[in-house]
Structure 1
Amino acid sequence: MKKLNLLLGILIAVTILSCSSDDDDSNSNEPTILGEWILVNQIYDGQNENLSDCKLQETLTFNSDGTLISYYTDNDPCEFFTEIQQYELNGDELKILFGQNLDFRFNVLTLSTTELSIENFYRNGETLEENNRTIYEYEKI
C-alpha cells in the first residue's frame, strides 16, 4: 500500500510538472506587431524620402489591449507629440483609428521579429491612388 501511495504521489507530481505553463517561451520567435517600433525609412511614390534626425526618432508602440501610442513630430525643430489611438490588425490589414471619424488603413508588407513595413492605402474614407501612397519602414526597439 505504501508503494502504491508513493507511486501515485510521483505520478501526480510528474503530471503537475508536465502541465506547467511555458506559453511565454513557445511563441517568442513568432512575429508580432506588439511592442515599440522606430521609423527608419519612408518611401513615397517609389522614392526614399530624406528624413530629418527628428523624423527618425518617431515611434509606434502597439499594446495588447488594442491601443497604439504614436510619438511623432510635425515641425522642425524637434517638437514631439504623443497620441493614443486604437488599432486593429486583421491579417495583412492594419487599421488605425484617430478619434471617431478618422481612420487610416495600411497594407502590412513586412512583419518579422525585427522589421515592420506598412503602406498607407486608405485615409478618411478615400482609397489612395498607387502613386499617392506612403510606405513606412520600422525596426523593433
Structure 2
Amino acid sequence: MKTLKLTLLTIITACLTFSCNSDDDSPAKSNAELIIGTWKWTEGTQDGVAETLTECDLLDTLTFTDTQISYASHEEGTAPCATANTFSDTYTIDGNIITSDIEIALTKTYEIITLNSTTLVLKFEETENNETNIYTNTFVK
C-alpha cells in the first residue's frame, strides 16, 4: 500500500511539473516594438480636466513606424470631417520618453504613461504666452 501511495504521488507530481506551461517564456516587447502602428485618439485632458472631443477629433491618428511618426488631424465643419493637417517626422524612443520634431521646428518630448498592444497614453507639456499646460492623451490601436 505504501508503494502504491508513493507511486501515485510521484505520478501526480510529475504531471503537475510537466503540464504547467509558463507564459513568461517569451520576452516582453519593448516600447519601441509596442508603439508601431496607427493609434486613434479617444480621450484627452488638459491640466487634469477632461477635454470634450468632437466627432472629428476622434478621427485624429498617430502612426508610428520604426523611425517615423505621423499625425493626422480632422477639421470640424467639413463633411465628413476632412483631414485638415498632417505632419510627419522622425522620432526616437528611449525607455518611456519619445522625442520628436513633429511640431514644426520645435523638439517635443512625450512621456509614455501606458503602452500595451491596445492602449497608448501620452503626457506632454505645452507653453504658450508664458502659460504651461499639461496634456494627457489616450489612443487605441
Is this a same-fold pair by TM over 0.5?
Answer: yes
Give, in angstroms, the shift of residue 85 of structure 1. Answer: 1.4
> How does 1:1-141 map onto structure 2 within 5 Å?
30=29, 32-64=34-66, 66-73=67-74, 75-77=76-78, 78-80=81-83, 81-98=85-102, 101-121=105-125, 129=132, 132-140=133-141
Query: Distance in 2 between the 1:103 and 1:123 partners?
Result: 13
Checking the alignment, whether the CA contact within 8 Å between 1:54 and 1:76 is kept in structure 2 is no
2-side partners of 1:71 and 1:49: how far apart? 19
Partners of 1:70 and 1:137 lie apart in 2 by 14
Per-residue CA deviations over 1:6-44 (Å, capped at 9, x if unaligned) read xxxxxxxxxxxxxxxxxxxx66x7361001100000111
In structure 2, relative to structure 1, the CA distance for the partners of 1:67 and 1:52 (3 Å cut) is same
CA RMSD of aligned residues (A): 2.5
8 A contact 1:92–1:109 mirrored in 2: yes
Q: Does the residue aligned with 2:54 lie in a helix, a strand or coil? A: coil
Q: How big is the shift at 1:122?
A: 5.9
TM-score by length of 1: 0.66
Question: Match for 2:125: what amino acid?
Answer: F
Contact 1:106 1:122 in 2 (8 A): no
- Give the deviation of 1:117 after TM superposition: 0.2
For residues 42 and 97 of structure 1, what CA distance do their matches in structure 2 show?
Answer: 21
- Cα gap change, 1:99 to 1:115, in 2 (>3 Å): closer
Asked whether the equivalents of residues 60 and 68 of structure 1 are also in contact (C-alpha less than 8 Å), the reply is yes
- Which stretches in structure 2 are left out of the alignment for 5+ residues? 1-25
Structure label with greater radius of gyration: 2
Change in CA separation of 1:100 and 1:58 when aligned onto 2, cut-off 3 Å = closer
Would you say how many aligned residue pairs link Structure 1 and Structure 2?
109
| Residues 39 and 63 in structure 2, CA contact (< 8 A), matched pair in contact too | yes
- Identify unmatched segments of 5+ residues in structure 1: 1-25
Contact 2:56 2:75 in 1 (8 A): no
Distance 1:103 1:75, change over 3 A: farther
Alignment check: 8 A CA contact 2:70 2:88 kept? yes
